[in-house]
Amino acid sequence: MATHRKLRLKPSRRQRRPAVPLFSDYHPSRIRPHYNRKAQDKSAGVTAGLVQYCFLTLDDLFIALLRARGDRNLDRLVVALRTRPGELLRAVLEFNKDKTAAAGTEFLALANHRKNIRAEVALVTKRFRQAQLTALKEKWPQYGLLDDEFSPEMCIFLLEAIPRMMLLEDAVGVSTAHAQVLKFVNQYIDRIEPRPRMQKARKATQRKRERGANR
């Protein structure tokens, strides 16, 4: 007796993968949890049929987008940390100030409305946090800071949270104290991680003082 194989209604991971690049440049700020999939497809510039074939639900689309953008931004972060070993704190701050990298904040807000993507958002967030911590912990002893007062974990959290909060407030037209806070953060970084020009200037000033003391 002949048997009939069941039709595979759900596309495989290999089938879904080619469609991910279609949304890799689709900014999450244009995603809203109450949108239906047809509206989202039209906004992204693709047909509803193509998206429905590749993603069974809107959550599947969000997860694929989160993974694609997360991998790409993580690569950018790793390159920045490797190529700027003398400016790790500034590299972290500038990375989190970038609107593309900080788009993860939109996913954090989205996760409050869609439980299915919470685990994925947490996983991506932890990957970014760990990459930054691994690089910073290696250099932390050189800063001469006391871990019981200010730890690498606290530092990374602040360098992530401050620029993200600023981007969120900027989106709604609020900028109170943004410039002052950013100036304070940059000045603090300059103190514990001075740039090469600043180091030269400090050495020159120290030499002048030494010469004046010897006269």
Any domain includes 210 = no
Any domain includes 199 = no
Any domain includes 215 = no
Q: Which long-range contacts (CB under 8 A, 24 or more apart) does 29-37 make?
A: 29/103, 29/106, 29/171, 31/62, 31/106, 31/110, 33/110, 33/113, 33/114, 37/61
Q: Is the pTM of this model over 0.75?
A: no
CATH of the domain at 48: 1.10.357.10
Any domain includes 110 = yes
pLDDT digit string (tens) for 48-75? 677 777 778 888 888 888 888 889 999 9
Sign of CA dihedral 73, 66, 105, 29: positive
> For the chain, what is the domain count?
1
Q: What is the number of residues in the chain? A: 215
pLDDT digit string (tens) for 157-188? 999 999 989 988 998 999 999 999 999 999 99
Any domain includes 213 = no
Q: Containing domain of residue 142, as a range?
A: 13-194
CA 12 to chain centre: 29
* pLDDT value at residue 133: 96
**Phi then psi dihedrals of residue 110, to 5 deg:** -65, -35
Any domain includes 200 = no
Any domain includes 115 = yes
Any domain includes 151 = yes
